[in-house]
């Protein structure tokens, strides 16, 4: 069933009417022009009342129409283009009326007062029966048609119903479908909002866990640094003790060497004495000193391997292997982790004084 549909031209007319209405708006009151409409020298239009308001505001001393005082006119600026409008003694009443715009306003108001459905019905005609309106709906073929098509035409064996009934029914169905679709969109939007909140929560929780992880490893590094300082201090202490002992022996051997050298020098000088009597007076004493000096026993030298510091070698392989096993504990809560960090810090500060040895024997 083919029929002529006039909705598209009608929609075009409605769009044109909207555009026309925009052209009939006064730039001052922002309403449709009210007659009389005056045209300015710049070809813009104003309601005469609005033009008079603007003119009076720009010329407060100008006498109104009907005054006995003769005025020399005035001027104001067009609100659309700011062109200066110079008026004679008649003021805005001396401006020319735009009868064309006034007629267009009258036609627009007449067309706007006509119901849209009347226009639509005038354009909705059956193509097979040009003088027949589309007034029924074929339920079998699911198309609008006319009465003659039901009686004589292609739909004479079909079940039909009044067009307004089907119109209301399908409009109700479409309205319900739209409502369901809107409700479904609301649910989808709610799900999107929830997932966005989940993303934000994931970011917040990840940021918090990263912070806790950094704190844990910083605390671990602090423990390692503290222990390294203690071991270095113990090593430096033993180093200083050994150096003091060896340097003391060096000073003792040096003093003995200096005294022995002086005694050798004195003995050599005595042996060069040509007179036997003088030589014999000093010889006995020198012989005793040389004998005594040669019998002096110096303190023992450092035992073999005394200089070795191998006892301070630290094995960290097992500790490194243990550190590599550090992993996440999914069952631990955030509060437990915070408490563990605090306890680790307290144990790290108390441990060196109570448990850790100061000497090298505890460093193997």
Q: Which residues pair with 86 in a beta bridge?
A: 75
Whether 180 and 94 share a structural domain: no
Whether 20 and 109 share a structural domain: yes
Token pair of 22, please? Answer: 């925009």
Number of domains in the chain: 2
Whether 109 and 20 share a structural domain: yes
The answer to whether the pTM exceeds 0.95 is no
Query: What is the rounded CA–CA span in Å between residue 271 and residue 282?
Result: 10
Task: Tell me the residue range of the domain where 82 lies.
Answer: 16-61+72-113
Q: Is residue 5 part of a domain?
A: no
Question: For 5-27, what is each residue's pLDDT tens digit?
Answer: 443 343 445 566 677 777 888 88
Q: For residue 155, with 0-12 CB atoms within 10 Å meaning exposed, 13-18 middle and 19 or more buried, which class applies?
A: buried
Q: Is residue 219 part of a domain?
A: no
Query: For the ranges 10-19, 72-81, 136-145, which has the lowest average pLDDT?
Result: 10-19
Which of 198, 222, 248 is the last residue before a domain boundary?
A: 198
Q: Is residue 353 part of a domain?
A: no
Which of 198, 216, 231 is the last residue before a domain boundary?
A: 198
Whether 170 and 106 share a structural domain: no
Q: Is residue 292 part of a domain?
A: no
Which pLDDT does position 124 carry in this prediction? 77
Query: What is the rounded CA–CA span in Å between residue 23 and residue 238?
Result: 102
Whether 47 and 98 share a structural domain: yes
Which of 146, 174, 198 is the last residue before a domain boundary?
A: 198
Has residue 117 got a pLDDT over 60? no
Q: Is residue 157 part of a domain?
A: yes
Query: For the ranges 166-170, 200-204, 246-250, which has the lowest average pLDDT?
Result: 166-170
Q: Is residue 6 part of a domain?
A: no
Q: Is residue 337 part of a domain?
A: no
Which pLDDT does position 70 carry in this prediction? 42
Whether 91 and 159 share a structural domain: no
Q: Is residue 358 part of a domain?
A: no
């Amino acid at each position: 069933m083919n029929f002529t549909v006039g909705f598209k031209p009608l929609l075009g007319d409605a769009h044109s009417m909207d555009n026309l209405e925009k052209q009939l708006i006064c730039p001052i009151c922002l309403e449709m022009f009210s007659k009389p409409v005056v045209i300015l020298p710049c070809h813009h239009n104003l309601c005469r009342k609005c033009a008079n308001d603007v003119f009076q505001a720009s010329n407060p001393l100008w006498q109104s129409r009907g005054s006995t005082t003769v005025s020399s006119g005035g001027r104001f600026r067009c609100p659309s283009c700011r062109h200066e409008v110079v008026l004679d003694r008649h003021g805005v009443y001396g401006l020319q009326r735009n009868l064309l715009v006034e007629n267009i306003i009258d036609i627009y108001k007449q067309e706007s007062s006509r119901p849209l459905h009347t226009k639509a019905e005038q354009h909705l005609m059956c193509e097979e029966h040009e003088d027949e309106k589309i007034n029924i709906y074929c339920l079998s073929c699911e198309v609008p048609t006319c009465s003659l098509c039901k009686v004589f035409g292609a739909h004479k064996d079909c079940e039909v119903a009044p067009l307004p009934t089907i119109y209301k029914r399908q409009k109700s169905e479409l309205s319900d479908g739209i409502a369901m679709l809107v409700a479904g969109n609301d649910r989808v939007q709610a799900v999107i909002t929830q997932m966005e909140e989940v993303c934000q929560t994931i970011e917040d929780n990840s940021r918090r866990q990263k912070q806790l992880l950094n704190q844990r490893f910083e605390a671990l590094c602090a423990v390692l640094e503290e222990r390294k300082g203690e071991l270095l201090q113990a090593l430096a202490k033993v180093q200083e003790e050994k150096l003091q002992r060896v340097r003391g022996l060096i000073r003792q051997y040096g003093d003995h060497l200096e005294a022995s050298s002086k005694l050798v020098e004195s003995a050599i000088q005595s042996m060069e004495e040509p007179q036997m009597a003088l030589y014999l007076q000093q010889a006995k004493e020198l012989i005793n000193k040389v004998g005594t000096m040669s019998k002096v026993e110096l303190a023992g030298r450092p035992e073999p391997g005394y200089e070795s510091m191998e006892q301070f070698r630290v094995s960290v392989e097992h500790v490194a292997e243990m550190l590599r096993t550090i992993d996440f504990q999914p069952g631990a809560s955030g509060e437990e982790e915070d408490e563990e960090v605090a306890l680790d810090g307290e144990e790290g500060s108390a441990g060196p004084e109570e448990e850790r040895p100061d000497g090298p024997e505890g460093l193997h």
